[in-house]
Chains A and B, each alone.
Chain A
Amino acid sequence: MSQSLSPSHLPASIAAPVALPIRTLLPWAAFTVVLSLLLLYFVGAEQGATSLISGHAVHEFVHDGRHLLGFPCH
C-alpha cells in the first residue's frame, strides 16, 4: 500500500491513487444502486410492461424520453 511508503518515494504530482476501503463503500453502493434502479424503473417501465400506479399519466409524461432513451414503449 502506498500509505506505508514515505512521501519522498511519491512525488505529489504523480501520487498513487489510494483505493477506498470496501467496507465503507458497500452501504453507500447499495443505497445508490437501489435508488438508481427505482429511478430507471419509473423512466423505463412503469405503466408499460408493469404498473404500480394506475392510469397512463406517468407513461405519457415521460413518453418522449422513454422512446429517445431506448426503452421499449407502447
Chain B
Amino acid sequence: MTGRLLSRGMIAGIAAALLAFVFARFFGEPQVNLAIAFESAKDLAAGEPPEPEIISRSIQASFGLLTAAVMYGAAYGGIFATIFAFAYGRVGRFSPRALSALLAAAAFVVFVLVPDLKYAPNPPAVGLPSTIGLRTGAYFGMIALSLCAAAASYMVSRPLIRRLGHWNGVLASLGVFIILVAAVQAGMPDINEVPTDFPATVLWRFREAALGMQIVLWATIGLLFGPLASRVLTAGADKPFARNG
C-alpha cells in the first residue's frame, strides 16, 4: 500500500514534469537564449574567447531540460507522496483528492515560493562563479529553514485551534509561518550579482517563466496524485469502510 502510494507520487511528478517541460520550452528558453546572447556579447566586448560548448545549446534546451525536469519532478513527487502518506487521516478529515490539492499548494509555497522570494531564480550571465558555494549553501539552507518554519507552524496549529477555534486557529498558525519566514529571511545574507547593464525585462521574464514552470508542476502533481492515491487507498480489502475517495 505505502510503496504503491509513493510510486504513484513519482508517476504524478514525472507527468507533471512533462507539462512543466513544455511550459519551460515555450516561455523559459527564449529568455535563457537572450541571457546567453548578453553574456556572449559581453565576453566579445571584453576580448575574451567564447565559452567552449561541451554540450550543444539545442541538446541543453531539449533533452537536457527534459531530463532535469523529470528528475526534479520524480524527486518532489516522491517527497510529496511521503508527506501525503503521513498526513492522510491525521491532518483534518480530507478526501485524498482534497488533501492532495491542499498539500501541493502548501508544498509549492514551502519548497519553491519562500526560497525563491529570498533567492530568486537567475538566468545565465547572472551570478559570479566564485560565490557558487555560498549561493548553493544559502539556497538549500533556505529550503530547509522554510520546511522547519512550516513544521513549527503545524505544531502550534493544534493548540491554537483548541484555543481559537478552527478558522482562527488555522489563520493564526499561518501567521506564525509568515513571521518565522520573515525573521529567517531577514537574517540570511543578501545576494545581488545582477550585472548593472543586464536587461531588466529579460530578468523579469525569466523569473516569471521559472515561477510559471513550478506552478504548472505543482498544480499537476496536486490534481493528478489525488485520484491516483484515491484508487490505491480505496482498493485495499483491509479498508472495508472506505469505498469512495
Binding site for B on A (CB under 8 A): 2-3, 5, 7, 10, 12-13, 15-20, 22, 24-25, 28-29, 32-33, 35-37, 39-40, 42-45, 48-50, 55-57, 60-74
Contact = CB atoms under 8 A, between A and B. Distances in A.
Contact of A7 (B65, B67, B241): B241
A71 B63 CA distance: 18
B136 A65 contact: no
A7 B242 CA distance: 10
A37 B144 CA distance: 12
B74 A17 contact: no
B87 to A, nearest CB: 9
24 contacts: A15-B243, A16-B242, A17-B95, A17-B242, A24-B1, A28-B82, A33-B78, A35-B78, A45-B136, A48-B136, A49-B133, A49-B136, A56-B54, A60-B54, A61-B64, A62-B64, A64-B60, A64-B68, A67-B123, A68-B121, A68-B210, A69-B121, A70-B115, A70-B116
Given A19-B88, A67-B32, A72-B127, A13 B72 contact: no
B97 to A, nearest CB: 11
CB-CB nearest 4 A-B residue pairs? A65-B68, A19-B89, A49-B136, A72-B135
B82 A32 contact: yes
A26 B176 CA distance: 28
Q: How large is the interface on B (under 10, 10 to 19, 20 to 34, 35 or more residues)?
A: 35 or more
Main secondary structure of the interface of A (DSSP, over half): helix
Contacts of B119: 70, 72
B136 A68 contact: no
Given A15-B244, A35-B78, A64 B88 contact: no
B167 to A, nearest CB: 21
Contacts of B65: 62, 64-65, 68
A47 to B, nearest CB: 10
Contacts of A22: 86
Nearest to A72: B135
Interface in B111-141: 112, 115-116, 119-124, 127, 129, 132-133, 135-137, 139-140
